[in-house]
Amino acid sequence: MSLLDKMKALVAFYEEVLSMPHRSEIARELRDQDDMFLFMLYSEMLGIPNPAYYYTLELYPYMMEQFHDWHLRMGMDKSPMTGFRCC
């Protein structure tokens, strides 16, 4: 490894240290937006009418894993949907 490469590695390391807390903050913000999206998707369950409900149902198999994490984050230990169980 030449000196230049070593310097580059050092700078990359330093930048990673700097950006570590930031990365998680951005990820958190994105996750919150995702949660909002899912919340709107499953709004029917909470009594808010959702005209797109029948169409979004088709997405369900693709979102199984994500859906599981979401209902855990929302404070529901088990899937709130009868008939569709993920855990």
Q: Which of 41, 37, 42, 85 is nearest to 64 (CA)?
A: 85
Q: Which residues bind other proteins (CB under 8 A)?
A: 11, 13-29, 31, 69
Q: Shortest distance, CB of residue 44 to other proteins, whole angstroms?
A: 27
DSSP one-letter code for 49:
-
Give the helix, strand, coil percentages of the chain, each rounded to 5.
75, 0, 25
Give least dist CB 22 to other proteins, A.
5
Q: Which is nearer to other proteins, 19 or 53 (CB)?
A: 19
In whole angstroms, how close is the CB of 15 to other proteins at the nearest point?
5
